[in-house]
Structure 1
Amino acid sequence: MNSGAIRRRLALGAAVLTAAGTFALVAPAQAGAVTAADCAGRQVRTLPFATGTVHVYRQGGYVCAITLPRASGGKRTMSVSVQARGNRPVVDRGRYRYHAGPVSVHAGHRCVWVKGAVGGSSASSGWILC
Structure 2
Amino acid sequence: MGSGGIRRRLALGAAVLAASGALAFTATATAQAASADGCAGREVRTLPFRTGVIHVYKRGDYVCAVTVARNAGSVQSMSVSVQARGNRPVVDKGRYKHLAGPVTVNAGHRCVWIRGAVGAYSRSSGWILC
Question: Same fold judged by TM-score > 0.5?
Answer: yes
- Is 1:59 the counterpart of 2:59? The answer is yes
Offset, 1:73: 2.0
Structure 2 CA distance for aligned equivalents of residues 72 and 93 of structure 1: 16
Q: Who is 1:28 aligned against? A: none
Structure 1 residue identity aligned to 2:126:
G
Matched position secondary structure for 1:38: coil
Change (3 A) 1:120 1:37: closer
TM-score scaled by structure 1?
0.72
Structure 1 residue identity aligned to 2:116:
G
Structure 2 CA distance for aligned equivalents of residues 100 and 94 of structure 1: 8
Offset, 1:98: 1.3
Structure 1 CA distance for aligned equivalents of residues 36 and 107 of structure 2: 19
Q: Who is 1:45 aligned against? A: 45
Structure 2 residue identity aligned to 1:83:
Q
Q: Who is 1:118 aligned against? A: 118
In the TM superposition, what are the counterparts of 1:1-130 in structure 2 within 5 Å? 35-36=35-36, 38-130=38-130
Q: How many aligned residue pairs are there?
A: 97
Once superposed, what is the RMSD of the aligned Cα atoms? 1.4
Matched position secondary structure for 2:74: coil
For structure 1, list consecutive stretches of 5 or more residues without a partner in the other structure.
1-34
Structure 1 CA distance for aligned equivalents of residues 52 and 98 of structure 2: 11
Structure 2 CA distance for aligned equivalents of residues 57 and 117 of structure 1: 17
Change (3 A) 1:75 1:64: same
Offset, 1:37: 6.0
Structure 1 residue identity aligned to 2:106:
H
Q: For 1:59-100, what per-residue CA distance to the aligned partner results, in whole angstroms no more than 9, with x for missing partners?
A: 000000000001122110000000000000000000001100
Q: Is the 8 A contact 2:37 2:66 kept in 1?
A: no
Question: 4+ runs of 1 displaced by more than 6 Å?
Answer: none
